[in-house]
Amino acid sequence: MKKLNKLFFVSISIFLSLSLLFSGCSPKNNTENSNKKEKVSTENKNISKNTSQKNTDKPKTNAVKESVKDKLTIHYINVGQGDAELIQFKGKNLLIDAGPNKSSEQLLTYLRRTGVKRLDFVIATHPHEDHIGNMDDVIREFEIGEFIAPKVSANTKSFEWMLKNLKSKGLKITTAKAGLKLDIHKNLKCEFVAPNKDKYDDLNNYSAVVKLTYGKNRFLFTGDAETLSEKEILAKGFDISADVLKFGHHGSSTSSSKDFLRKVNPKIGIVSCAKGNNYGHPHKETLSKIKEFQIKTYRTDIDGDIILVSDGSNIQKLNKK
């Protein structure tokens, strides 16, 4: 009975936090494992956690100190088995996801080395630990202009820490949904094409799917969106054609349907996953489709940090120094 009461109060706490952060939000529940520490400090009015016992098995950093001037620079950051992408343009910074908790120092170091002091926009595509595990650190360490996430909750420490740090900085959550547009710069278009519904059985399908357009170049970021979400995007008739596709769900067989790939028709593909991961990502079915559609693909487990630069007409992959 005591355990049931404790679970009840934890759920109520998350519900109340979401009620304050999401205007008119009706959160949904999901469970996952997380290794977050439970000790809370409110020094300097920010929420902090004990990081002394963080997993030190981190991928190597190959961050550049600054983005290429006057060009769109997209960093697909090697955070192991997770997702984190940094978009830089004309002094503006957009972060999509923040990787798993164990890659915290890797991510923070990368952001600092690229000269990030303020994140004008932060998108949490969905509340799985491998996408928001470091979001609390990001919120605490950097000034944030706007925070965007779908209307869904998770009974996990990673999600709880994210909410606490948002609250500590007085940040509200803008609801991620199809049709939402972000005003990053007059020359950079940012539009959401998913999620398209308010409720899903699988948390992955709540994923924010974002298309960036700069001149003639287009980039699509899919979080962990699976085939159901892809079908909804296709049914809505969104223009999802893109030069570069970040493959959904780390190259899992549950994403990247042939119909979706035909519509996107990417020249370049990105898979974000860990070397020797336990999930078999990228899946052999996805690799087969990559070969069939002749998509030049880079992988963080093989290539490490991947940096693409666009002048609005051409896309160049920066070589590591």
Q: List domains and CATH numbers for the chain.
A: 71-317 (3.60.15.10)
Contacts of 49 (CB under 8 A, 6+ apart): 36, 37, 39, 40, 41, 136, 161
Give the burial class of 70: count Cβ atoms within 10 A of its Cβ; 0-12 exposed, 13-18 middle, 19 or more buried.
Answer: exposed
Place of tokens 């959401």: 192
Alpha helices in the chain (DSSP H): 2-21, 104-113, 129-132, 135-141, 157-168, 227-236, 258-264, 284-292, 300-303
Contacts of 162 (CB under 8 A, 6+ apart): 124, 127, 132, 135, 136, 139
What per-residue confidence (pLDDT) applies to 310? Answer: 99
What per-residue confidence (pLDDT) applies to 59? Answer: 43
What per-residue confidence (pLDDT) applies to 36? Answer: 38
CA dihedral (301, 309, 312, 176) positive or negative? positive
Cβ–Cβ under 8 Å, residues 239 and 220: no
* pLDDT < 70 stretches in the chain: 1-68, 321
What per-residue confidence (pLDDT) applies to 319? Answer: 84
CA Rg value for the chain: 19
Q: What is the pTM of this model?
A: 0.83
Spatial distance between the Cα atoms of 289 and 298, rounded to a whole number of angstroms:
14
Span between the terminal Cα atoms of the chain, in Å: 58
Cβ–Cβ under 8 Å, residues 233 and 260: yes
What per-residue confidence (pLDDT) applies to 70? Answer: 80
